[in-house]
Structure 1
Amino acid sequence: MPAQITYVSGHKNPDTDSCCSAICYSRFLKACHPKRNIIPMTAGPIMEQTRFILNKFGVTPPDVISDISPKAKHVPQTGRDVLNINQPVSQALEIYNQKQQLDFACIDDENNYIGMLQINDLITSILRPVNETDMTQISCTINSLIKTLGAQIVHNTQNLNEINKYRLVIPTMDLEGFKLISDSWDVERWSESLFIMGYNPEITSYIIKNNGGMIILTRSAEQITRIKAMQKTHQPMNRVSSHQAINEMVHHEMEGPEGTSVILQHIQTHNETDPLYNIIKEAPEHTTIMCTSFCVAAATVLSKQATPVKLLCKSDKVHQVKDNTPLRDIKERFLAHKQVHALAVVDQQGKYLNLLKRFDIEDVNLIDLVLVDHNELGQQPTGSQAIGVSIIEIVDHHKIAIDDQQKVQKMTVKPVGCTCTIIFELFKQKGVQLDKQTASLLMSAILTDTLILKSPTATKTDAETLKLLQDLTGIDYLQLGAEIFSSVQGFSSMDKKKVVKQDYKVFEAKQGRYGVSQVEVSSHSQISDDVINELLQILKEMSTNEGLFLTCCLVTDVQLNSSILITNGPASFADVVGYGLWKNKKCCYDLPGVVSRKKQLMPHLINVLSLLE
């Protein structure tokens, strides 16, 4: 999983100041915190003007991220155990006993996620079957039995990994009694029987002659063979020594010095006194024989746990999520499905990545967010309120309008004309070296946001900063400003709706919501009758689609220091707007000297709308 991310982001519909602030402030933070994973981003498409600036100074545009909501892939590894589908469920129970883990992701040999195993589901299927038939039936492989019982094969010709169904049989009677019980068994019944037994050569021989499916020789068989071995070597076998030998067998390892089973060593060494040797030696292909150090009772209980995980895990989709699933959706999944206690995270190819519990996504901090050039909730990147996101800092030059519920660790807000002016001051205060490329971006942003210092929002600090940056870069800021604004195509672009939406904000009034866009053009000569008609249609569609009672587009000619306001709204708006028509065009108003939406247009609109019935 990736390291925690810090995003530095401007507002939605980013202008040049928003984009350049994100780039420059992320560079500042990286210089101050070189070990942090700090990434500049934009919350929307980059404007044409901004692209011109980035291209001019050789800067790679930041990624456009439409939603920063943390995803499943952002959650650190939880370290929970996983199970291979070929492992016996005894492995799950052993882990539960050690770590109290209740849920297990189950994977194949290629790390593909297959399903989920829950300990609670084993209660009826393994630990407490509901009827006698279930209690005496086992579905397992030879390998899963070996792993569960710590067993070793004495005789086998069958596939170790093939799943077979067996019926448990515990021969506790003498041979004649066993013959009576098994007298009605057909060939299939014998082949599907799994016999767990101690030292009983007669019954073992009878089972082998009838092609029994499997024989598991338990600890008592090993104890007796060892005692017989001691008798063969004429060691005294009084009550004490016999008891001692049996006790030693309880703790004796199943594997001998050369990897062969202890029971087999004793049988092979003392075959003339132990009939089991010849019996096992003559076992047919169909009968598998293995031995375990567990007693009959323990082996019987554990054998049910030899069922491979693949037979019991749930393969439904409700227990898995893709790695790009937002945490909010994961939380909703847990709330909607009370039986789901864990979710497996998989990549787009279905490979297993992580296992999440409900509490893994509560009060978790995965993404730090730094807001530049804005602070109000409506302008923040989508996902700023999501689970796992913390707004740690704000750098802005606008009025503070952050939501009361949002907790921010640090705020730097100053009444200047551009956020990049503040960022330049921070570079100076911290003594962080400012390279020419970063300085050029700061200069460009200040020029665009203050309209080459012509905007009413421009301050003395902005002007002084431009002069300092001019000295640092050797670039004449007046020439640069003229070049930037002359590069803008404005409405010569084919997609005029996209141009209108680039710098667009929605506001509230007593009549309802209304939207105001601002577009900068190199000359008002671009505004032909066809362009006006097309813009009016676009504004009308925006009003309908977004439920707005008024939409406006402020078209600003920076060189002339003048704007045109094109509107779609109630007819009575013309009576109170207070501006004359531009070239006698209906719904188009001439605003000489108006270049700032924030400082000039919005205060006027607020007053106008208060008069509108």
Structure 2
Amino acid sequence: MSKILVFGHKNPDTDAIASAISFSYLQNALGKETEAVALGEVSEETAYALEYFGMEAPRVIETAANETNTVYLVDHNEAQQSVSDIHDVEIASVVDHHRIANIDTANPLYYRAEPVGCTATIVLKIFKENNIAIPKNIAGIMLSAIVSDTLLFKSPTSTQEDESAARELADIAEVELEVYGLDMLKAGTNMGDKTAEELIDMDAKSFPMGDKNVRIAQINVVDVEDVFSKQAQLEKAIQQTNLANHYDLFVLVVTNILDSDSVILAIGNPIAAVEEAFNVKLDSNKAVLKGVVSRKKQVVPQLTEALTK
């Protein structure tokens, strides 16, 4: 039997990497033969967390069917966000905290989805349900995922379960939660040396919304001008990627992790849907979204509603 591959979504964030690592460890402890892999290089934030806890990034794969017949998905379930040949392998397990869309399987599977802020919060529950002890480094990377996805509990996606899980994992990892969390978040906000092409692809996901193909990217910063000083280059890069990948609409969400607000840059059609979704008027393709920090809860549902009327 080939080894089961465990992975999160393309353009992996800290949760996609951490949940793959921790869920793979758990499954191996339960007698499975699995390997955590990634569908892209890790971000600076994730690299900081991995180095802090003495771990290496999972290897990156382009396809899965050449290695295995079976995969476990974490932190995603939508086909366009997964490995390119996802339809050529059996999905035997999904652990996720996002909306459910366009997934189908030939056989029954283990499916665990909960409305919490982070997949790692769910993985912790599965560890406890199976009485599997969590090593210090695994706890640390799981903690990092929760801090990242909840913006240290400032995101509206954050729940009491996430905060309780983070504090439990911080104890195991032997770190001071607030100090480590802020340091990790800041490690992922250095955008000065990034090209426009890199910025729009760092944490980008595609979503079918009605008859439109929408791409939404999000960047966390401490100063939005670090990004928008390159607006002309960003717009050119977005126009090119829209054309190359047949995206109807591209929305870049630049989130200030200290102020808990975002500025969006929207390129494509229908722009009117963006203005309707967020009740704003775009000025030079930009608008401020006060209190918006979550793509999952404050951007995707609103755009979906506006585009499917």
| Shorter-chain TM band | over 0.9
Render the CA deviation track for 1:514-560: whole Å, top value 9, x for unaligned: 2111111122231343x111111111111111122211100111111
Pairing 1:160-199 to 2, within 5 Å after superposition = none
Q: 1:384 to 1:572 in 2, by over 3 A?
A: closer
Give the distance between the partners of 2:121 and 2:238, measured in 1 at CA. 34
C-alpha displacement of 1:508: 2.5
Pairing 1:79-94 to 2, within 5 Å after superposition = none
Q: Greater relative contact order (Cα 8 A, min sep 6): structure 1 or 2?
A: 1
Give the distance between the partners of 2:236 and 2:64, measured in 1 at CA. 33
C-alpha displacement of 1:405: 4.1
**Residue among 404, 413, 417 paired with 2:113:** 413
Larger radius of gyration: 1
* Structure 2 residue 221 is the aligned partner of structure 1 residue 518: no
* Structure 2 residue 260 is the aligned partner of structure 1 residue 561: yes
Q: TM-score, normalised by structure 1?
A: 0.48
* Structure 2 residue 79 is the aligned partner of structure 1 residue 53: no
The secondary structure found in structure 1 opposite 2:86 is coil
Any conservation in 1 of the 2:114–2:122 contact (CA below 8 Å)?
yes
Residue of structure 2 equivalent to 1:38: 34
Residue of structure 2 equivalent to 1:229: none
Any conservation in 1 of the 2:127–2:134 contact (CA below 8 Å)?
yes
Q: 1:607 to 1:382 in 2, by over 3 A?
A: closer
Any conservation in 2 of the 1:18–1:373 contact (CA below 8 Å)?
yes
**Residue among 491, 498, 522 paired with 2:198:** 498
Q: TM-score, normalised by structure 2?
A: 0.92
The secondary structure found in structure 2 opposite 1:426 is helix
Q: 1:514 to 1:41 in 2, by over 3 A?
A: same
| Worse overlay, 427-436 or 374-383 | 374-383
Give the distance between the partners of 2:121 and 2:114, measured in 1 at CA. 9
Residue of structure 1 equivalent to 2:169: 469
The secondary structure found in structure 2 opposite 1:398 is coil
* Structure 2 residue 138 is the aligned partner of structure 1 residue 438: yes
Any conservation in 2 of the 1:43–1:382 contact (CA below 8 Å)?
no
C-alpha displacement of 1:453: 0.9
Pairing 1:11-410 to 2, within 5 Å after superposition = 11-33=9-31, 36-70=32-66, 366-386=68-88, 389-410=89-110
Matched residue type, 2:289: L
Residue of structure 1 equivalent to 2:287: 589
Q: 1:61 to 1:382 in 2, by over 3 A?
A: same
**Residue among 247, 250, 268 paired with 1:551:** 250
Matched residue type, 1:371: L
Matched residue type, 1:7: L
Matched residue type, 1:31: A
Q: 1:385 to 1:549 in 2, by over 3 A?
A: closer
Any conservation in 1 of the 2:265–2:287 contact (CA below 8 Å)?
yes
Q: 1:546 to 1:464 in 2, by over 3 A?
A: same
Pairing 1:476-491 to 2, within 5 Å after superposition = 476-491=176-191
Give the distance between the partners of 1:19 and 1:562, measured in 2 at CA. 26
Matched residue type, 2:265: I
Give the distance between the partners of 2:270 and 2:35, measured in 1 at CA. 47
Give the distance between the partners of 2:307 and 2:87, measured in 1 at CA. 31
Structure 1, unmatched stretches of 5+, are: 72-365
Give the distance between the partners of 1:467 and 1:416, measured in 2 at CA. 15
The secondary structure found in structure 2 opposite 1:427 is helix
The secondary structure found in structure 2 opposite 1:431 is coil
C-alpha displacement of 1:442: 0.8
Residue of structure 1 equivalent to 2:148: 448
Which 4+ runs in 1 deviate beyond 6 A?
none
C-alpha displacement of 1:446: 0.3
RMSD: 2.0
Structure 2, unmatched stretches of 5+, are: none
